[in-house]
Amino acid sequence: MAGVSGQAGGQVRAGQREGLRGFNMIETAQAPFGSPAAAASFRAAAATGANAAALVPFLWQPNGGDPAIVLGDALPVERLAAGIAQAREAGLQAVIKPHVWVPGGWAGLVAMEREADWTQWFAAYRRAILLLAGLAASAGAAEFVIGTELRGTVHRPEWREVIGGVRQVFSGPLTYVAQGADEVERVPFWDVLDAVGASLYPVLGRARDRSGWRGAMRDEIERVRRVAEQAGRPVWIGEIGLRSAGDATLRPWESAEERAAPVDLTLQAEVIGEWLELLEAANPAAVLVWRWFSDPEGGGPEDTDFTVQRKPAADRIAARWRRSGTTPPP
């Protein structure tokens, strides 16, 4: 991957370096980026053997069909810049990975009914993304994600204009993170990006059916790999993860807010361990676990959500990543 010119000939080269491995880093009110607490959390993430952190700013819109999308104010650009600096100080390459927040829903609900609304939505989205890309460039981020799980939008031709605009301000590699293999297979603009990106949350089956998990994982990875091979791009995994909760393998995307469940730290650690083992064989350009908080006290043995901090999952990750080679400079 190169990403300066936006032409296929130079874009895959950077994929030959050591792949990124790390966490989606979410800022919390208790430990804003730039604070000593956040610095400690970045260092703890790096101690697992991670070499990257994906910082997640949020765009917001009232509902999936409303074109009034704006850059959220929960993470101001100056604190995002501080987070990039702290990631680099901890020896981590910084990735900027914007998400769209839809109250009571998720980014996959974004879809307009009228052509005029599509025009308005993309104009606003492009402004926000260009602002973030410019910040990423000036603060020294290594890579930039142009969108995450916006499956209702990917058929639109405006994406090529968005990507072209980002290329003008950010010279590093670009990707888009599709929601699983189903969306990966429908994205028509991989040819102007530097990697085929995906978040992986397929149904895995019963909680102790390890062979079932592996079959579902292999199928998902293979489908993404085939698209990447056809596009002449590396695979870039923007999210893998699981709640530390009972029966989380039945609906791996489900949050703690959606279902109360007993703690199951072992299930989370085993599933993430399987993902890492199978993905290592696929040699992706990036693997980012969902998630890690800027609060160094995040997670813990009583938590039933996705955070891996202070749980056996973090130990399982560290056992694999610490033997994965040297960490590239930020």
Positive or negative torsion for Cα 283, 329, 141, 268: positive
Which of 7-16, 78-87, 125-134, 141-150 is predicted least confidently? 7-16
Query: Contact, 244 vs 313, CB < 8 A?
Result: yes
Phi, psi dihedral angles at 208 (to 5 degrees): -115, 15
Query: Contact, 68 vs 122, CB < 8 A?
Result: no
Residue 81 pLDDT more than 80?
A: yes
What's the CA gap between 156 and 125, in Å, rounded? 13
Alpha helices in the chain (DSSP H): 8-11, 36-46, 77-89, 115-139, 158-169, 180-184, 210-231, 265-282, 312-321
State the Cα angle at 45 between 43 and 49, rounded to 5°.
105
Average pLDDT, stretch 162-173?
98
Which of 10-19, 42-51, 214-223 is predicted least confidently? 10-19
Residue 8 pLDDT more than 50?
A: no
Residue 220 pLDDT more than 70?
A: yes
> What is the number of alpha carbons within 13 Å of residue 154 lying toward its C-beta?
22
Residue 94 pLDDT more than 80?
A: yes
pLDDT-derived band at 329, boundaries 50, 70, 90: very low
Give the chain's mean pLDDT.
93
| Domain 20-321, CATH class in plain words | alpha beta
Higher-pLDDT residue of 11, 133: 133
Residue 7 pLDDT more than 80?
A: no
277-292 pLDDT per residue, tens: 999 888 999 999 999 9
39-53 pLDDT per residue, tens: 999 999 999 999 999
Which strands make up the sheet holding 58-60, listed edge to edge?
Answer: 70-71, 58-60, 99-101
> Can you give the residue ranges of every domain in the chain?
20-321
The residue among 165, 173, 190 whose CA lies nearest residue 11 is 173
Beta strands 58-60; 70-71: pairing state: antiparallel
pLDDT-derived band at 17, boundaries 50, 70, 90: low
Cis? peptide before 291, omega within 30° of 0: yes
What's the CA gap between 41 and 59, in Å, rounded? 24
181-197 pLDDT per residue, tens: 999 999 999 999 999 99
Query: Contact, 96 vs 145, CB < 8 A?
Result: yes
Average pLDDT, stretch 154-177?
98
User: Which DSSP category does 244 fall into?
Assistant: S
For residues 33, 236, 323 and 37, what is the CA-based torsion angle, rounded to 10 degrees?
A: 10
